[in-house]
Amino acid sequence: MVKPRHHPGDEWLVSYAAGTLDEAYSLLVASHLTYCGVCREKVRAAEDVGGLLLEQQTPTDLDLGSLDRVLARLDDDVAVPAVRDIRIQTEAERAHLPLPLVEFIGGDLNSLSWRSLGRGVKAVRLDAHGREDSRLWLLRAPPGMRLAEHSHRGTELVLVMHGCLHDGSEIFVPGDVDEKGDDHWHAPVVGDGEECICLVVTDAPIRFKGLVARLLQPLIGL
């Protein structure tokens, strides 16, 4: 496995550690962490900030009997939620997808209702909860495909999971995150050879430049 060279900005890693991200961003970060040891270490360092701040909290008195209540429950016979679902893990391995994503969609890519956008491009909006106007979807596009030129009012994060994507002078392979900020027009091109599968998060509806793409917006709910 090649080490990713394109990472999400540190503000995403810090906020993932703080636990303030929407499900959509959180899933994209967790999926990137699957590929990236460097960012895993950064998240660990950021979690230490959380641990330190917890340690520094001024203690608040607990209800009387709080400790006894928990002590009485220690022997409750509950399965330890430690080992993750084996079936899902096998699924993830087979499909070469990060485990957090496979868990999130609860199965493989074929179980999703993909919408065709023409020319072999398919997309599916995933149901993700959160406090912001973030949107999460999966995109698959055939080799050599030029995706509609578009720009954003907010941020767009793209995690490549299969195949590759050329954006400007840069190339993104599985594990890489392509992050584009405000009013950056771009038209990524799928590399030759393999289908490209990406996880995409935006925090504002995309504005497609092309007319056809714009017509498709209501269909795919971007």
Partner 1 sequence: MRADETGKGKLDLPADTATRMAVLLQRVGRQRDREAFALLFRHFAPRLKSYLIRQGSSTEAAEELIQDIMLLVWRKAEQYDPKRAAASTWIYTIARNRRIDVLRRERRPEPEPEDPMAGPVVEATGDAVIAFKQNRKRLMQAMTELSEEQALVVKMSFMEDKSHSMIARELDLPLGTVKSRLRLAFKRLREVLGEGW
Restricting to residues 39-78, name those near Zn ion by CB under 5 A: 39
CB of 195 to partner 1, least distance (A): 18
Residue 33 touches which member of partner 1, Zn ion, none, C-beta under 5-8 Å by kind: partner 1
CB of 133 to partner 1, least distance (A): 9
CA angle 139, 155, 5 (to 5 degrees): 70
- Map the footprint of partner 1 across residues 137-166, applying CB under 8 A: none
Segment lying near partner 1 (by CB under 8 A), choices 48-56, 114-122, 189-197, 209-217: 48-56
Q: What would the two tokens of residue 220 be? A: 């795919």
Residue 23 contacts partner 1 per CB under 8 A: yes
Residue 31 touches which member of Zn ion, partner 1, none, C-beta under 5-8 Å by kind: partner 1
Pick the binder of partner 1 from 6, 8, 26, 137 (CB under 8 A).
26
Segment lying near Zn ion (by CB under 5 A), choices 5-13, 100-108, 135-143, 196-204: 5-13
What b/e sequence results for 63-92 when a residue is b if at least 16 CB atoms lie within 10 Å of its CB, and e otherwise?
eeeeeeeeeeeeeeeeeeeeeeeeebeebb
* Cβ proximity of 6 and 158 under 8 Å: no
CB of 38 to Zn ion, least distance (A): 5
CB atoms within 10 A of CB 151: 16
Q: Tell me the three-class secondary structure of 7-23, residue by residue.
A: CCCHHHHHHHHHCCCCH
Residue 7 contacts Zn ion per CB under 5 A: yes
Residue 10 touches which member of Zn ion, partner 1, none, C-beta under 5-8 Å by kind: partner 1
Continuous H helices in 56-163: 66-73, 86-95, 99-105
